[in-house]
Amino acid sequence: MCGIVGVVGKPAREVVLNGLKNLEYRGYDSAGIYLNDLQGNEYLTKAVGRISNLEEKLTPDEEGLVGIGHTRWATHGKPTVDNAHPHVSEDGRFYLVHNGVIENYAELKEKYLQDVDFKSTTDTEVVVQLVDKIAREKNLDAFSAFKEALKLVRGSYAFLLVDNTQPDHIFIAKNKSPMMLGIGDGFNIIASDAISVLDQTKTFIDLQDGDVADVTKDNVVIETIDGEKVERKPHTLDIDPNAASKGTYEFYMLKEIDEQPAVMRRLSQDYFDGDDVKVDPAIVDAMAQSDRIYILAAGTSYHAGLVGKNIIEEYADIPVEVGLASEFGYHFPKLSKKPFFIFLSQSGETADSRVVLKQVNERNLPSLTMTNVEGSTLSREATYTMLLEAGPEIAVASTKAYTAQIAVQAILAKAVGEKKNLEKAKNFDLKNQFALAAEGMQELVDGKEKIDELAKKYLSTTRNAFYLGRGVDYAVALEGALKLKEVSYIETEGFAAAELKHGTIALIEKGTPVITLINDPATADLTRGNIQEVESRGANVMTFVAKDFAREGDDVVLPQIDYYLSPLVTAIPAQLIAYYASKNKGLDVDKPRNLAKSVTVE
Ligand code: M6R
């Protein structure tokens, strides 16, 4: 969601602006920067819309040796200049940027700040005014006042605070919202995502919930809110900064779609020893002992979980329940006797999933997070982690993380099935299937012009569309529909193919696009029947069909792979058609309106 970058000890303007630009993919609707040159000059600039609008407002002399910047995705209050961060205290002393949500902001305002003239309608401004008030009334230095204020604050936050009476410090605090501290040579840098500042340093300290810190150019003091010193070891992040760049692509989304064969090959290398799957035995043992798996996730990751359910039940022979984290967190079902929890999350930061994991931990139950981001919160807080190894995913629409989640679930299913001595699992030649999937994905991305033509022909003016599928294709239909609607704004619904005639077929009229997926041997013929039903009512049907079931006239013939893994290849045309539908309409494919890459609020 929002992005944060702060730096102390080097000319800050470019560093902060570049960092914010690297976070643009997370989604935002206003931006701001505070600079202090340590000579008594300070500059606060904010703008609605893109960072380029902010840059236009900055005059050439606005520079600083300390800077904090922010991209805001509006939660409390409209996207206006007043509501953009940094927020400043009434007396102009403190400047604050914030990611997260302050749950008790109204209460704090009412109780402590009735005499303050607020400039914004945000929850964040309450905190900067509170710090200021405490500093003045209790005659405390900034760090002490900040910690006192935090004792009163309830909610999620990553805060950067500058006090212009000691401007060579940035005070920071973290609770539930991600924040990394980058260690430089003669400078230090803070960001909500390490990717944004990889050009500055590769040495990072992962701050934990409850940490506060006083950061100067060559020193970092980390404490708890109660003032106890905390030791956090720096580590080196081994990410190629180019992995997060667009290269020659116009949009990240296409780059990330194209990268999927390479991701499959990387997973083949890292999760296999010869032809054998290689998974931490502790994970395999814990899962093999369980009587039911609960997969929790949101959005695209939830859809990957629906595919994973089929794979795990087939090859590990354990019943699986898949839940939307946002629902599960507040309506826990009656659990089985030996549950095992799997959290699927590209970012590892999704607040809805964290709510569930917290309760799982309170009940002392085993959990595994499958995530793309090493050291992310869901990874740290779960018992075990398996990495997706998809490389940074920048486009808001998740693509390569989705297929990686399916692949990693398959690896785990095979490992657990083998541990249980199941013939099916032992005979499942997953390494070969991954090779076929990678080859098939490549063939499909190489044929992308065909998908572009379909998008131009059927999706350029339509208001709505449908996706149909049965079995695992139903799970992919849900994901295909999400992909298409989120980037092209075409209202799209995914259906179990036979369900359409139980109501929704009423919406089919002349020219309604219906994308139909056929990989399921058990129902291929029945789905053909469903195609007839919509075609006879005027629908423009597009068919993505596995080679074994393909007929003349099908639009995309999918390379044949194991039915349970077929979503790995079916996903490619589904992602591509969404991409082209959006691009052909001239939309900003990577940053669809109203969306954020990492949803760190509930
Ligand atoms: O980071 P996560 O995988 O936990 O994110 C969950 C959803 O917000 C995410 O999958 C979202 O639905 C996608 N960006 C949509 O493409």
Sorted by where each begins, the domain ranges of the chain are: 3-241, 246-444, 447-589
Alpha helices in 465-563 (DSSP H): 472-488, 524-535
The confidence score (pLDDT) of residue 78 equals 86
Q: What is the pLDDT of residues 319-329, one digit of tens each?
A: 999 999 999 98
Lowest mean pLDDT across 144-148, 153-157, 405-409, 477-481: 153-157
Task: Extract the tokens encoding 382.
Answer: 């779960």
Average pLDDT rounded to a whole number, residues 91-108: 95
How would residue 143 be classed by pLDDT, with cut points 50, 70 and 90?
very high
CA distance between the termini of the chain: 12
Average pLDDT rounded to a whole number, residues 246-261: 90
Does domain 3-241 sit in CATH 3.60.20.10? Answer: yes
Domain 3-241 and domain 246-444 have a common topology: no
pTM of the model: 0.76
Collapsing DSSP to helix, strand or coil, 173 comes out as strand
Backbone CA torsion sign across 50, 54, 57, 61? negative
Q: Taking the domain 246-444, which CATH number applies?
A: 3.40.50.10490
Average pLDDT rounded to a whole number, residues 480-491: 97
Q: Is the CB of 177 under 6 A from ligand 1?
A: no
How would residue 75 be classed by pLDDT, with cut points 50, 70 and 90?
confident
- What is the best residue among 192, 346, 370, 484 to mutate for testing ligand 1's pocket, by most ligand atoms within 8 Å of CB? 346
Angle made by CA atoms 375, 181, 371, in degrees to the nearest 5: 20
Lowest mean pLDDT across 70-84, 392-406, 530-544: 70-84
Topology adopted by domain 447-589: Rossmann fold (3.40.50)
Q: Which residues on adjacent β-strands are paired with residue 371? A: 345, 387
Q: Is the CB of 299 under 6 A from ligand 1?
A: yes
Q: Which helix (H) or strand (E) holds 221?
A: strand 219-224
Instruction: Give percent of the chain with pLDDT exceeding 70.
Output: 98
597 is catalytic: yes
Q: Are 160 and 3 in contact (CB under 8 A)?
A: no
Lowest mean pLDDT across 28-32, 165-169, 340-344: 28-32
Q: Is the CB of 345 under 6 A from ligand 1?
A: yes
Instruction: Give percent of the chain with pLDDT exceeding 90.
Output: 85
- What is the best residue among 195, 324, 372, 599 to mutate for testing ligand 1's pocket, by most ligand atoms within 8 Å of CB? 599
Highest mean pLDDT among 73-82, 109-118, 495-504: 109-118
Q: Is the CB of 478 under 6 A from ligand 1?
A: no
Ligand 1 center–CA 305 separation, angstroms: 12
Q: Are 326 and 352 in contact (CB under 8 A)?
A: yes
Average pLDDT rounded to a whole number, residues 120-136: 96
How would residue 240 be classed by pLDDT, with cut points 50, 70 and 90?
low
2 is catalytic: yes
Average pLDDT rounded to a whole number, residues 16-23: 92
The confidence score (pLDDT) of residue 195 equals 82
Q: Are 592 and 25 in contact (CB under 8 A)?
A: no
